Structure 1
Amino acid sequence: MNSDTNAPARPRRPVIGICARTAPVTLQDSDLLVALALNAHVAFLAEAGAVPVLLPLVQGARELIGRLDALLVPGGPDLDPALYGAAAHPATRAMSPDADRVELAVLRAALDAGLPVLAICRGMQALNVLHGGTLHQHLSDVTGHDGHRPRTASFTLGRQPLTLLPGSQIAAVLHGDEEHTACHHHQAVDRIGSGLAVTARTADGTVEALEVVGHPFAVGVQWECGQTPDKRLHHALAHAAANLRKEPAAAMSIH
């Protein structure tokens, strides 16, 4: 007889979808186009007790939201400016309009379902556009400097001091510490979408964090979360997903 028969069932780990990006790679002398996620996103979420899954941006992807406990929308190419009623700037390098629309539909479905969401860089811009906001298509035209995307021979993260809104979700995750961005973006939020609150800015006024008003955990950050060793936001997302999984069991125990 199995001694574990009467043992309480182990709680299932929260499942967190990561919106996929496509990129060309060379593997065994073959040029391939692959769907991928930054390994740091996978590793940080797994370390926090979640099971990360890749979510390709194909038709029907939003139907998987019911099987997820949270969503991470990572950085990537620029959004199609037509999504916010603008013509393309010469510096805009958009992804696929079809993939953009699928990602927005996935993000909308996640928010409507009350899932925790972490939107990073392009992801935060998508969050703003989804709520009717607009973007600065080339930030240096507005700020007069390239501090948010340094022009260097190799990939370099910009470091800008952050001002966090006291009492916000982002301030709670970062414990109100003095923070600096680790950013590499040439676009940024312009007009704020309806139902969103700005919860962090840099000294030049650039929006660095947005939150969905009234949502338990829906946070967008403009900096390259996942390109540094800082895991706090990933762990906060996993924690919010785990808490969401506990709620139905807690509600049933009341009756």
Structure 2
Amino acid sequence: MVPDQQAALDFYRDLFGWQGEIGPEEFGGYSICTLKGKPVAGMMKSMAMGDQPPPPPNWTSYFSSADADATEAAIRANGGTLIVSATDVGGIGRMLIGVDPQGAVFGVWQPKGFDGAAIVNEPGALVWNQLSTPDPKGAGVFYQAALGLEAGPMPDMPEFTGLQVKGRTIGGVQGMENLPEGVPPHWLVNFCVDDVDSTADALVRAGGSLMAPPFDMDKVGRMAVVLDPQGAAFAIVATNEPVKP
């Protein structure tokens, strides 16, 4: 979500090679961004909800669900709250926006003709979802109970709790000890790139900024945490080894 949707479409087209355009009014102008003709992400203009101001620019991690209403009930039953209750999006899916007990926002999507990202784990596409929270253990319990994600230690990186789907790790959970004071609990989307340094340079030239300049991370690869020109945070990652699709 961003205030200037067209500017965001132009920025990510140049950075990642995405294609997209502002969508029809009945879908709130929602843009499906594609890479090699397949969907990889979505964008829409920030809008006020009731008497609340528009949300700040942000990327939201979405998790697939077979039943969004049942997931909503599980979120509530396990201490989470809802920003947007389960609602139909045309005939292509059903969605909700939730908040975990520690305050991190996430989305849930029930496919009804549109599955979501069709390319992952390659340059220009999503490769990882990272949760920063003051209570990693509690977060693991919540996401396992509410979304069915399996939480457990990552043997190669003991500082992280891994989140798995059918035995495959799709994200991680970490504490907030090393983050600046005042940063709220949050999910951070990570996009794969060929070269972190050159991508970071291009981002800065296009008006973005660096929160954590390129650095090497043991057993993962090279990464940076950045802001796009409108202030939405995300990470870029070049892995040491090819990741499995």
Whether TM-score is above 0.5 comes out as: no
TM-score by length of 1: 0.27
TM-score by length of 2: 0.28
Question: Higher relative CO (CA 8 A, sep ≥ 6), structure 1 or 2?
Answer: 1
Q: Which has the larger radius of gyration?
A: 1
- Between Structure 1 and Structure 2, the one with more helix by share is 1
